[in-house]
Amino acid sequence: MSEREILFAVKEGLGLITLDRPKALNALTHGMVLELEKTIPAWEKDPAVKAVVLRGAGDRAFCAGGDIQALWRESRENPSGTLRRDFFYDEYIVNRRIYRYAKPWISFIDGIDMGGGVGLSVHGSHSVATERFLFAMPETTIGLFPDVGGGYFLSRLQGALGVYLALTSHRLRAADALWAGIADAYVPSARLDELQAALGAADLSGPDARRKVDAVIGRFAEDAGSPSLPALMPEIDRCFSADTVGEIRDKLNGQRGEWAEKQRAALAKVSPLSMAITLEQLRRCATRSFEDSMTIEYRMVQHAMRPDHDFFEGVRALLIDKDQKPKWRPATIDGVTRDLVEAHFKPLANDLVFD
């Protein structure tokens, strides 16, 4: 790596990781993923490490996602490059390692946590949210789908909440994330260093390490305020429980009021193909293991790396040219065929496999 992008340290029994690309909102590069996969398996076996604490540098983001611009650049400048194959492969391996991690994995989420950042936090044992916490799975906005284990965790949220978050990119603050089970405690940003010191001073040994971490965090936890989701859940369940995206659109069209109007506007902006594959992803992953869900997502993402896929058009329109006017293909929900959706779920010659 030409610049340092991620920092590792062991202090007072804690494995400390800092995502360190603050100008890029700590977006995850392939180099950072490879560094994680080098260090965190070693910490899992190292008796000097009792828990991992993951933070983002700067005062804006925990991690805004993956380094999508690098993927776009490669597809335009080096069509035979391997980043589009290897970045997701290695990222999903890390997501699964965190899901299965034998020690407490504690994320201090003091800012934006979206896409690839969620994959580093939500599968761990503990997520601490501050007043700057801002969560979303916004991938349908750029012609992708909520990967990094989104199929697994979103499909396990209550009612149709996961489908709603996945299709609309709706953002959550700490109070709603706590209510949904996406975060575990609210601690003000100003007290995070003190919390980290308390974790370092605590006995976190043995099979009940998880409960011991709960107890330490509990000493710092404050009221996050009242969540907005409970009042919205009846409408979310009514409109977003459906077998097809067309049905969801029709239900929203049949619903009066400001909330339904906002959701119609949100869905009108995102990729119709992304919505269709996302609905199928959540349906399939709802009954699969974490590992099988990641294999499904890897098949999907490799299909999305074809140069003419909505993904590259979405990245162009939102992150490169910034004209905010992606030309989606197909252009409408009704134009998305069953065959096009199914093509994203076909086994690959080089499928994602776990050891």
CA distance 91 to 112: 19
If the CB atoms of residues 320 and 341 are measured against ligand QUE, the closer one turns out to be 320
Side chain identity at residue 214, one-letter code: D
Contacts (Cβ under 8 Å, ≥6 apart) of 154: 137, 146, 161, 162, 163, 165, 166, 282
27 binds ligand QUE (CB under 6 A): yes
CA distance 267 to 260: 11
List the one residue from 56, 104, 111, 138 that touches ligand QUE (CB under 6 A): 138
List the one residue from 6, 49, 54, 68 that touches ligand QUE (CB under 6 A): 68
Catalytically active residues, by annotation: 66, 116, 139, 147
CA distances to 273, 301, 328, 332, 348 from 336, in Å: 6, 18, 11, 7, 22
Contact by Cβ (8 Å): 180, 158? yes
69 binds ligand QUE (CB under 6 A): yes
CB of 140 to ligand QUE, least distance (A): 8
Helix (H) or strand (E) holding 206: none
If the CB atoms of residues 25 and 300 are measured against ligand QUE, the closer one turns out to be 25
If the CB atoms of residues 49 and 300 are measured against ligand QUE, the closer one turns out to be 300
115 binds ligand QUE (CB under 6 A): yes
Side chain identity at residue 160, one-letter code: A
Burial of 284 (0-12, 13-18, 19+ CB in 10 A): middle
What backbone phi and psi angles, to 5 degrees, belong to 108?
-100, 105
If the CB atoms of residues 139 and 184 are measured against ligand QUE, the closer one turns out to be 139
If the CB atoms of residues 97 and 171 are measured against ligand QUE, the closer one turns out to be 171
119 binds ligand QUE (CB under 6 A): no
CA distances to 62, 100, 248 from 10, in Å: 20, 21, 49
List the one residue from 172, 318, 336, 352 that touches ligand QUE (CB under 6 A): 318
List the one residue from 65, 150, 151, 162 that touches ligand QUE (CB under 6 A): 65
- Which structure tokens are listed for 29? 């590069």
273 binds ligand QUE (CB under 6 A): no
25 binds ligand QUE (CB under 6 A): yes
**CB-closest chain residue to ligand QUE:** 65
**Contact positions vs ligand QUE (CB under 6 A):** 24-25, 27, 64-69, 115-116, 138-139, 141-142, 318-319
